[in-house]
Structure 1
Amino acid sequence: MATTQIFFASSLYGAATLAAAIDSGSFTTADRRLLLVSNNAAIPETTPALDEMAGFERLRDRFDDVLSWNATIAPFHPGGWAPRGDDLPLWERYLRQLWDLGDDRIELAVESVQVNPALAVAQLFPDAALDVYADGLMSYGPTRNKIDPLVGERVRRLLHLDLVPGLRPLLLAEFGVEPQLVPTEAFVKVVGELSDAVPDACAGVQEGPALLLGQYLAALGILTPVEEEGLHVRMLAGAAALGHRRIVFKPHPTAPAAWTRTLERRAASLGVELTV
């Protein structure tokens, strides 16, 4: 029986993590490897999906085809849609026909399996072997949502980057899932490929800019949107107070565009150059 591996990703960083795992031999060979892309932005129509971002072409050759989860479940939003239990067999048959999977044995690699859309994808292939990969610090904390044992018990391993050397991830530990490192050197190599594909915005400048990283704390209910926007403004002001005149802000892919405009106005009032 042929084997098809489906890799689910919603960010370029996640796709880079998958590419590094593939390059380092973390996945066995398969007859086909498909990248299933989900755009989880609040308004996907106004935000490019990861396969439309600069540099993606450097990752493309790891996969035989690229599929769109948004197009598959349209007009529903990936973060707000989940299949009804009674409809699971119908959906699996539909996806096997739509993606030309036939009777292939399916292996899934998904991110954030505790929430949709990754959870929905895992549920739609109930017999598929399941790997979870984590590209961020959340892998070191406990699973934030209770997961159906029909999904959690299927997870074979947790692939993660060595972001905190020596610290063992707790994500999915309640199911006895063993963490497995994605080699740092493999990930650095992939990131190098991505950077080579993107023009250097700071070429010719001796001193690099300060880098501010945004998150999605409001979406998780940790902060309100107003509080998170204010946090970004304080980060910008703090960097400016330290003497930085050139600042780069990297928002989370799902962050509202309005936050960027607020930062731009604040940067202008502080007399600093802001790149988003």
Structure 2
Amino acid sequence: MTQLFALHSAYGLATAAAAIDAGLLGRDGGAERILVPFTSSRVPETAVGIAGDPVLGPLRARFDRVEPLEDVLGPLHPSSWEPAEADLPILERLLVRAWRLDPQGLELFVQSPQVAPARTLMALFPYARITIVGDGLMTYSPMRVRLPYAVAARIERVVHADVVPGVRPLVGSPRAEIVPVPPVAFAAALRETDAGESGTADDASSVLVLGQYLSALGLMTPAAEVDLQKQLIDRAARWAPQRIVFKPHPAAPPLMTAAVRDRAHVHGIDFVEYRGPLAAELLAERLDALAVVAGFSTALPTVHTLFGRAIGSAGNDRVLAALTPFENSNRIPVTLVDALTRDDAPYSDPARLQLLVDAVGYAMQPENAAHLRGRAEELLHDLDPVERDRYFAPRRLAELRLPGAPRERALNRALRPAGGVGRVEEWRLHALGARRRVGRAWRALRGR
């Protein structure tokens, strides 16, 4: 038996390591564990992947072997690895030989199952049992593509860091077993990545603000993101810290940092920029931060659940309204952080928050998450209109004929398709049929 872990993020690697430590993954007969790391960055040459990051060395030590995927793919980007179906058996034999595998006794652990290379590996090893390893808040989003039945039927488990306790992720098959990694085990794995750097701790009371660089993802304009960063500083100022420590996104331009620095000075608060390797969760611990503030970063629920830090956010209502299309995969992470950080949010009960996640998940992917329609109707039936409009676009509700949809105009109702055929086309076919029947009757009367 071999357990093959195809992972690309430090968060996913820490999740897998913590699950191993907690005894959640089993190791029947002393199964070998192989880490197959790869870099998902658009420009892999500019990023430090999990295969080479020195601070992740203790986590990589959980595995018996490390076989970087790039050593096999060469110059081909992992996200572009989509071979023809006819080539899969050949590639399977090649990888079985290169990685010394038993294809009949293989358990495959993957992140981001909707896209290559995870999707390719799941199809390439047709007898492997499949476990999805969570990658932060994206794990709570429904599958955005329909996987072939031969693949979906083999997804047995979803292993995820339990950073939103009581809420079940939607990724994977509805029949998959959900395996939450205890916060204590996950926190211990994260602490192993602390490189022990100095110069980040003193007695000044601090709030940690995290940048995400959303304009690079096309979620907003650079000017709108600068405005959002200022709102985050305003939110951080509510804790009255002596200092704001800003950890920018590695790819963000200096303009972003300049904007938040100026805003901090407007509040009379000292400002420090941090560009070191320490993860946000560990940096908050090192600073003994009063709070952590960000847009919709996975670090927010993580640092709150694992270390008990206060969290805050800003601007998520604007992000939710701007996300297009409605099924944008960021919608669930934004929804979760918004519901967890809003003042007087009505989602403190995990069951209520689960209902919101299920309803938004169904509205995003009504075909892949068809089993959640009843949950969506349950939430929307009595939901306050302001809450409804915050998380659900009226047009989407109308398309899916869900409670709370705007009243349909008479013309639209008349033209709405029925039974898969547009109403105008239905009337035309009725008229054509009636004309033919009249023609046949007339010919019968004339004896033809």
Please indicate the TM-score interval, normalised by the length of the shorter structure: 0.7 to 0.9
Q: Deviations over 1:148-173 (max 9, x none)?
A: 21211101111112222222222224
**Structure 2 Cα separation of the partners of residues 156 and 18 of structure 1:** 16
Offset at residue 231 of structure 1 (A): 5.5
Number of the residue aligned with 2:439: none
Deviation at 1:33, TM superposition (A): 0.8
- 1:67 aligns to 2:60 (yes or no): no
2:109 matched residue in structure 1: 109
CA contact (8 A) 1:267 1:274 kept: no
Amino acid in structure 2 at the alignment position of 1:55: V
Distance in 1 (CA, whole Å) between partners of 2:49 and 2:213 is 18
Q: Counterparts of 1:216 and 1:34 in 2: how far apart (Å)? A: 34
- Assess, with a 3 A threshold, how the Cα gap between structure 1 residues 48 and 121 changes in structure 2: closer, same or farther: same
Aligned partner of 1:11 in structure 2 is 9
Equivalent residue, structure 1, for 2:183: 184
2-side partners of 1:184 and 1:217: how far apart? 32
> What CA distance in whole angstroms lies between the structure 2 residues aligned with 1:200 and 1:9?
30
Conserved 8 A contact 1:58-1:194: yes
Query: Structure 1, unaligned stretches of length 5 or more?
Result: none
TM-score by length of 1: 0.84
Offset of 1:207 from its aligned partner?
2.0
Match of 1:45? 45
| d(CA) in 1 for partners of 2:224, 2:54 | 28
Amino acid at match of 1:233: V
Which of these residues, 229, 232, 237, is aligned with residue 236 of structure 1?
229
Shift of 1:129: 1.1
CA contact (8 A) 2:104 2:128 kept: no
> 1:70 offset after TM fit, Å?
2.2
Higher relative contact order (CA 8 A, sep 6+): 1
CA shift for structure 1 position 235:
3.9
Which stretch of structure 1 is more off in the superposition, 95-104 or 22-31?
95-104
Larger strand proportion of the pair? 1
Distance in 2 (alpha carbons) for counterparts of 1:57 and 1:93: 30
For residue 80 of structure 2, give the secondary structure of its aligned residue in structure 1.
coil
Question: Which residue of 1 is the match for residue 273 of structure 2?
Answer: 274
Matched to 1:24, the amino acid is A
Give the aligned partner of residue 150 of structure 2. Answer: 150
Equivalent pairs counted in the alignment come to 262
- Structure with bigger gyration radius: 2
Matching of residue 264 in structure 1 with residue 257 in structure 2 = yes
Measure how far apart 1:5 and its partner are.
0.9
- Specify the SS of the correspondent of 1:68: coil
- Shifted more, 233-242 versus 91-100: the winner is 233-242
Q: Distance in 1 between matches of 2:169 and 2:7?
A: 20
Q: How does 1:192-211 map to 2 (within 5 A)?
A: 192-195=191-194, 197-211=195-209
User: What SS does the aligned partner of 2:100 have?
Assistant: coil
Structure with higher helix content: 2
Q: Secondary structure at the match of 1:33?
A: strand
1:169/1:240 CA distance change after superposition, 3 Å? closer
What is the root-mean-square deviation in Å for CA atoms of aligned residues? 2.5
Whole-angstrom CA distance in 2 between matches of 1:146 and 1:201 = 49
Structure 2: runs of 5 or more not aligned: 266-270, 276-448
Offset, 1:205: 4.4
Conservation of the 8 A alpha-carbon contact between 2:245 and 2:272: yes
Secondary structure, counterpart of 2:67 in structure 1: strand
5 Å matches for 1:150-169? 150-169=150-169
Q: Distance in 1 between matches of 2:67 and 2:214?
A: 25
